[in-house]
C-alpha cells in the first residue's frame, strides 16, 4: 500500500514513524500545485493538510482509495468527485480545540494589555531611565464584567465561552447558520453583538453565510477600544476593511487566519499606520504539540479503519 504525505512540514516535529507500519511511505515536506499529480499518481492513500486534491487529480490516480485530510475542514478536496470515483475522504475533528481556545486568549492578552509596547519599553531602556516604578501610559481593562461575543458557537466557541465566563465575562453569541440555539448563553443578532460587545471572537467555518461577514460597517459599529479576533477562517473578515478602519478609530484586531495564506507581501494589512492595533499570527492556533500529535493519531486511525 503506497501512502503519500504531501505537506508534512505542517506537522513540525511530530513523529510520523507509525505511517511506516502501514505501507510504503513517501513524505514530501511541501507540494506545489503543479507537482501534485505526479506525486500521487500511483498512491493508494494521500495525506494532505492544505494541498488541493481536485477531480482531475483523482481521474489520473487509478489506485487511489483514501484521501486523508489532516485537518477538520475539507474544502481542499473535491468531495463530490471523490464520492463519484468511490474514493473515501476522511478528516480529523476535535483535535485542536484546546489549542485554539488557548491561542484565542494569547492573542487577546497581547492586544488588551499592550504587551508589545510594554515589552519594548523595558528592553529599549525607556523604563530604566524613567525614574518611576510603573508605567500607566497604555491603560488596559479587565475582562470581568465585560461583554464577550462569540461568532460560531461550536466546540471551540463553547470552549472559549467557558474560559471567558471564568474571567467574569458576560457571554453572547451569533449563530452563522441561524439554526443553532444554546440556552446557556444569550443569542444575539450580528448587529447587536458587534455594537454591544467589548470582545468579539470568531470561531466559524468559511461558507456562503460567513464570507465577508465582518466588513467595514460592522467594524465601524464596534465600540471604541473593542478587541476583535478571527481564529476561524480567512475571508470571514474583510481584510481591506480592517486595513481601513484600523487607522480611523481605536479598535484592536487579531488575525490568525487570512484570505490568502501565506499573507501576500502587498497586503494592505501590512501597510497601516497604527500597527500597534493589529496582532497577526501565521495560522498557528491549531498547532500545539499535543494537537499535532492528536491529528496524526487521527489520520492513522482513519487509514486503519478503511484499509487495514
Please provide residue 37's backbone torsions phi and psi, each rounded to the nearest 5 degrees: -55, -45
> Would you call 34 a catalytic residue per the annotation?
no
Give kind and range of the element (H or E) at residue 48: strand 45-48
Range 121-151 burial, b when 16+ CB lie within 10 A, else e: beeeeebeeeeeeeeeeeeeeebeebbbbbb
Give kind and range of the element (H or E) at residue 82: helix 79-85
- Retrieve residue 220's grid coordinates: 465601524
> Would you call 233 a catalytic residue per the annotation?
yes
Gap between the Cα atoms of 231 and 285, Å rounded: 7
Q: At 26, is the secondary structure helix, strand, or coil?
A: strand
Residues 6+ apart with CB under 8 A from 182: 153, 158, 173
Which of 142, 248, 250, 261 is the catalytic position?
261
Which of 39, 279, 283, 292 is the catalytic position?
283
> Would you call 277 a catalytic residue per the annotation?
no
Which of 39, 114, 203, 233 is the catalytic position?
233
Question: Which residues carry out catalysis?
Answer: 233, 261, 283
Amino acid at each position: 500500500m503506497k501512502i503519500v504525505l504531501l505537506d508534512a512540514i505542517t506537522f513540525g516535529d511530530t513523529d510520523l514513524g507509525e505511517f511506516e507500519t502501514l505501507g510504503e511511505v513517501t513524505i514530501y515536506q511541501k507540494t506545489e500545485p503543479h507537482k501534485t499529480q505526479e506525486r500521487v499518481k500511483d498512491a493508494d492513500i494521500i495525506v494532505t493538510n492544505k494541498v488541493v486534491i481536485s477531480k482531475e487529480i483523482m481521474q489520473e490516480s487509478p489506485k487511489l482509495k483514501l484521501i486523508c485530510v489532516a485537518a477538520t475542514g475539507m474544502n481542499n478536496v473535491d468531495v463530490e468527485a471523490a464520492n463519484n470515483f468511490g474514493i473515501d475522504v476522511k478528516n480529523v475533528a476535535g483535535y485542536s480545540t484546546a489549542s485554539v481556545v488557548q491561542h484565542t486568549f494569547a492573542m487577546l492578552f497581547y492586544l488588551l494589555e499592550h504587551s508589545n509596547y510594554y515589552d519594548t519599553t523595558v528592553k529599549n531602556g525607556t523604563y530604566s531611565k524613567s525614574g518611576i516604578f510603573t508605567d500607566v501610559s497604555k491603560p488596559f481593562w479587565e475582562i470581568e464584567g465585560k461583554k464577550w461575543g462569540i461568532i460560531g458557537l461550536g466546540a471551540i466557541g463553547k470552549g472559549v465561552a467557558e474560559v471567558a465566563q471564568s474571567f467574569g465575562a458576560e457571554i453572547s453569541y451569533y449563530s452563522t447558520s441561524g439554526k443553532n440555539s444554546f440556552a446557556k448563553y444569550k443569542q444575539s443578532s450580528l448587529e447587536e453583538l458587534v455594537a454591544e460587545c467589548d470582545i468579539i471572537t470568531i470561531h466559524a467555518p468559511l461558507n456562503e453565510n460567513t464570507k465577508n461577514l465582518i466588513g467595514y460597517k460592522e467594524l465601524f459599529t464596534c465600540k471604541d477600544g473593542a478587541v476583535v479576533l478571527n481564529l476561524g477562517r480567512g475571508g470571514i473578515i474583510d481584510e481591506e476593511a480592517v486595513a481601513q478602519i484600523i487607522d480611523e478609530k481605536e479598535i484592536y484586531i487579531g488575525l490568525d487566519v487570512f484570505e490568502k495564506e501565506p499573507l501576500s507581501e502587498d497586503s494592505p494589512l501590512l501597510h497601516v499606520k497604527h500597527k500597534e492595533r493589529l496582532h497577526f499570527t501565521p495560522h498557528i492556533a491549531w498547532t500545539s504539540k499535543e494537537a499535532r500529535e492528536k491529528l496524526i493519531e487521527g489520520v492513522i486511525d482513519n487509514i486503519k479503519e478503511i484499509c487495514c
